[in-house]
Structure 1
Amino acid sequence: MKKSLLFVMPSLASGGGERSLVNLLSQMDYSQYEVDLFLFNHEGLFMEYVPKEVTILPIPESYQLFAQPLGPSVWSFLMQGRLPLAYSRLMFSLKNRYSRNLSTREQYNWRYISSSIDLLQKKYDTAIGFLEKTSTYFCVEKVQAGRKIGWVHIDYDELGMDPDFDIVYFEQLDHIVTVSEECAAILKKRFPSQQHKVNVIHNIVSPAVIHHMAEENRSDVYNRKEDELIILTVGRLHPQKGYELAIEACKILVGQGYNVRWHVIGEGAERARLTELIKVNRLENHFILLGLKSNPYPYIKQADLYVQTSRFEGKSIAIDEAKILKKPIVITRFSTAADQIREGLEGLIVDMQASSVAQGIEKLFRDRGLQRKMADQLAQARLGTEDEIYQLYSLLQGEVS
């Protein structure tokens, strides 16, 4: 008899966690597992990549009303005589307006969101909150399951969350999964009473799939001009990604006479601020926000360099994908950088300063021998992580205590 699984995720809009889930679902053995997926939002870039074997659960009617703009949402609840939900929706809006820390805002807003969602009626063998915060809270409070797993995709300490809030939920999980050894060490240090639950399962990436998708568009996606240096970054437009460092580094390179075009694939709340920063620095022709791309791989393949200026990461899937496509890589020295590339062999790790980023780019671009050395190292490396699915199966079957 198949085991029943539920994955919980806010959406499949864009981002590393979302791509990681789609990759994992593509590797599942559906002869052994019956898989449901709960999403708070059914729109998103990766919805089309959900395997047909996965059942996407409907969004509860009360949460659909809660997710509407403030006025219509409160009015609907008042008309239905659901005063507690009207109050929760109002408080949710007020907390969002006046809370500055995005992470603690999401943590403490769960108390208002949860009032709009009833306990799921179906019982599962295992429920998995596949992203930190809301997905895990939902998994703990709203799902009946024999085993519960929470996933943390990031350096926990860098998120600025309140661990006193999370410990209540972590204590009710059977396993806490994270994506790198460094992230695991941070969790164990932050939550010593839960360290026996922490397991590492690396993000699943498939070289065969990536190479295939990279060849789907063989035309020049950049409309490259002669003597241009094409740089690519992939990631949501969020303060975590340090795009102001990238913009300043681009300005330095242009000032040094390099014909740079730096492209960014991703979307997010920072678009307006970054657009203004690009304009102020007169880089409209040199730093381009491309928005979302369902298939970023032709862009990675055709770029000269892949650069990531993140302030912190868990395990960046985009960097792993750039490695698979044997791109020269420059990344900043975030806490898990050494988990991502071997310094000097697979790429350069530079200080978190615009001048250092620019120097790293210049060094790698000018030194063709170093580029070839790194490409050779990446060609010999075993970069596929499809076998990580067996780590998950061990947790699902209770083989890991």
Structure 2
Amino acid sequence: MKRIFIAMHYLEIGGAENALIGLLHALDYSEVSVDLFLYARRGEMLPLVPPEVCILPEIPAYAHIESPLKDAFLHGHIRVGLGRLHAKALAVMRRGKTTAGSDHTAIFSYIGRCVTPALPPVTDRVYDLAVSFLTPHDIVLSKVRAHKKVCWIHTDYSRISLDPAFELPVWQAYDHIVSISPDVSRGFIKVFPSLAPKITEIANILPETLIRGRAGSGSAPELQPGRLNLLSVGRFTHAKNFDNIPDIARRLRDDHHAAPFHWYLIGYGSDEALIRRRIAESGTNDCVTILGKRANPYPYISGCDIYVQPSRYEGRCVTVREAQLLGKPVVIAAYPTASSQVSDGKDGFILPSDNSGFAAGLASLAASPDCLEEIARNLLSADYSDRTEARKLVSLI
């Protein structure tokens, strides 16, 4: 029996969290035992962890890595709070030196470096394999003992504003770096060419039975018959580009005179106020609605007419894969890694990234129900679970 340790921030709704749940459901527990450590033991997806997995007790210092900063100080975790302030200062300095696009991914490099020294060891156990499933990767490197260590990349690193020289020592220290797709690997190697030999590709694994079961166990009362129901699910961040949905919807309604439609957004995040402002500015309150968090988004995915992912960049979007598994036509923007996710015209559609082109493409699809039905038939005859990918992780031991 091989012992595996996996570290994750928490299990709130998100793509990386869904990917982790899929991996946990695909492992063979007659061969491995798994300890899961959550920095904060919270999230709507906690009940989805398989019963064979041991969730380790929460350690208060770790829970304050992402809590409101004042809470870290109020609860006596002074060094964690000071580390976070130092990390914020380094990120601000870095932002002033570059004109490249940035999001919250980059700051975790600084948080890892500055906060990890203030954290206690996670456990005194020694594992065969320790997995850092999401940045910052400094923590598993320093606070967990294992014969081999693996870290994960979920996004296109060529699109993130970061300091390669600052990050390189952490990535170098791992035995393997797991990438979720060939395009993600290529983007990472552009930034860190010396790390190419460490890359191992393991596709995101979807728990097919669980997803189908949850899709049939809830309702989506907001979706209405007699109109085109569009849906986007994800964190409200720069990468997802939900802030441009109101303008796309306005163009779809006003420029292309599309049949009645409504576009629903499920998720949460720092860009929510921006998205709401854009809805008001574009006058699209009548056709764009933020639903917020949904503990079970699958009835909405199953019930929509088209699943839409207008991202600026992605690794390999989990919700796109889930929509395909449920037989929903998917539309994604032509971000750099799009072709690794969708075969245009066969299992979805790749539309121009600019708002005008995206709206025109959506209008064309909305007027082509036969085309959408053909895509749905193609999807239902395919296997999108990738369950066998779990063997690749075990083989790293």
Q: Under a length normalisation based on structure 2, what TM-score does the superposition of the two structures give?
A: 0.90
Q: Which residue of 2 aligns with 1:295?
A: 296
Q: Deviations over 1:328-351 (max 9, x none)?
A: 221100111111111111221111
Q: Deviations over 1:11-68 (max 9, x none)?
A: 1112110110011111222222121112111111211111222222223344456766
Q: Which residue of 1 aligns with 2:112?
A: 110
Percent of residue pairs identical: 30
Is 2:243–2:274's contact at 8 Å kept on the other side of the alignment? no
Alpha-carbon distance between aligned partners in 2 of 1:146 and 1:158, rounded to the nearest angstrom: 33
Q: Which amino acid in structure 2 is aligned with residue 122 of structure 1?
A: R
Alpha-carbon offset, residue 145 of structure 1: 0.6
Q: Tell me the SS of whatever aligns to 2:148.
A: strand
Number of residue pairs matched by the alignment: 387
Alpha-carbon offset, residue 257 of structure 1: 5.1
Is 1:187–1:198's contact at 8 Å kept on the other side of the alignment? no
Change (3 A) 1:170 1:93: closer
Change (3 A) 1:374 1:189: same
Residue 327 (structure 1) aligned with residue 349 (structure 2): no
Alpha-carbon distance between aligned partners in 1 of 2:244 and 2:67, rounded to the nearest angstrom: 36
Alpha-carbon distance between aligned partners in 2 of 1:62 and 1:170, rounded to the nearest angstrom: 24
Change (3 A) 1:203 1:322: same
Alpha-carbon distance between aligned partners in 2 of 1:68 and 1:370, rounded to the nearest angstrom: 47
Alpha-carbon offset, residue 251 of structure 1: 0.8
Alpha-carbon distance between aligned partners in 2 of 1:106 and 1:220, rounded to the nearest angstrom: 35
Residue 245 (structure 1) aligned with residue 278 (structure 2): no
Q: Which residue of 2 aligns with 1:45?
A: 44
Alpha-carbon distance between aligned partners in 1 of 2:369 and 2:69, rounded to the nearest angstrom: 56
Q: Which residue of 2 aligns with 1:125?
A: 128
Q: Which residue of 2 aligns with 1:399?
A: none
Q: Deviations over 1:256-310 (max 9, x none)?
A: 2532210011111111111111112222231111112222111111111111100
Q: Which amino acid in structure 1 is aligned with residue 390 of structure 2?
A: I
Alpha-carbon offset, residue 353 of structure 1: 1.0
Change (3 A) 1:70 1:173: closer
Q: Which residue of 1 aligns with 2:86?
A: 91
Alpha-carbon distance between aligned partners in 2 of 1:25 and 1:231, rounded to the nearest angstrom: 31
Residue 10 (structure 1) aligned with residue 13 (structure 2): no
Q: Under a length normalisation based on structure 1, what TM-score does the superposition of the two structures give?
A: 0.89
Alpha-carbon distance between aligned partners in 2 of 1:126 and 1:111, rounded to the nearest angstrom: 22
Q: Which amino acid in structure 1 is aligned with residue 241 of structure 2?
A: G
Alpha-carbon distance between aligned partners in 2 of 1:246 and 1:204, rounded to the nearest angstrom: 28
Alpha-carbon distance between aligned partners in 2 of 1:241 and 1:139, rounded to the nearest angstrom: 28
Alpha-carbon RMSD across the aligned residues, in angstroms, is 2.3
Q: Which residue of 2 aligns with 1:221?
A: 221
Q: Which residue of 2 aligns with 1:183?
A: 184
Q: Which runs of 5+ in 1 are unaligned?
A: 397-401
Q: Deviations over 1:205-226 (max 9, x none)?
A: 1433322222113x5522515x
Alpha-carbon offset, residue 71 of structure 1: 4.6
Alpha-carbon distance between aligned partners in 1 of 2:159 and 2:64, rounded to the nearest angstrom: 33
Q: Which residue of 1 aligns with 2:99?
A: none
Alpha-carbon offset, residue 385 of structure 1: 0.9
Change (3 A) 1:224 1:37: same
Q: Which runs of 5+ in 2 are unaligned?
A: 96-101
Change (3 A) 1:87 1:323: closer
Q: Which amino acid in structure 1 is aligned with residue 128 of structure 2?
A: D
Change (3 A) 1:39 1:184: same
Alpha-carbon distance between aligned partners in 2 of 1:86 and 1:237, rounded to the nearest angstrom: 25
Q: Tell me the SS of whatever aligns to 1:310.
A: coil
Alpha-carbon offset, residue 154 of structure 1: 0.8
Alpha-carbon offset, residue 379 of structure 1: 2.6
Deviates more, 1:342-351 or 1:66-75: 66-75
Q: Tell me the SS of whatever aligns to 2:259.
A: coil
Alpha-carbon distance between aligned partners in 2 of 1:232 and 1:72, rounded to the nearest angstrom: 36
Is 1:263–1:290's contact at 8 Å kept on the other side of the alignment? yes
Q: Tell me the SS of whatever aligns to 1:216.
A: coil
Q: Tell me the SS of whatever aligns to 1:19.
A: helix
